[in-house]
Amino acid sequence: MDNSNLIKMANNIGSFFKSEPDRELAVQGVEQHIRNFWEPRMRRQIIEYTQAGGNELMDIVAEAVSHIAARQ
């Protein structure tokens, strides 16, 4: 899948959880959504994107992706 599509999808998830007043809960929500609904190839690709210095993700999304990477 094209990175731009993954970025858009991930940021859409982040936009939904951004309204959560507790930042940690928002990050957990993004992380859980990606874990539950993205296939492994998509998760690997977004992790590789962030590890390569990609910076187009919302801050809560980037943090969630780093949590996913740390737990793999």
Q: What is the Cα–Cα distance from 23 to 38, expressed in whole angstroms?
A: 22
The pLDDT of residue 72 is above 90: no
Q: Residue 14: helix, strand or coil by DSSP?
A: helix
Per-residue confidence band for 1, with pLDDT thresholds at 50, 70 and 90: confident
Domain extents in the chain: 3-70
What is the residue-averaged pLDDT of the chain?
Answer: 97
Per-residue pLDDT, 44: 97
Per-residue pLDDT, 16: 98
Taking only the tens place, the pLDDT of each residue in 21-54 is 999 999 999 999 999 999 999 999 999 999 999 9
Contacts of residue 29, defined as CB under 8 A and 6 or more positions apart, other chains included, come to 16, 17, 20
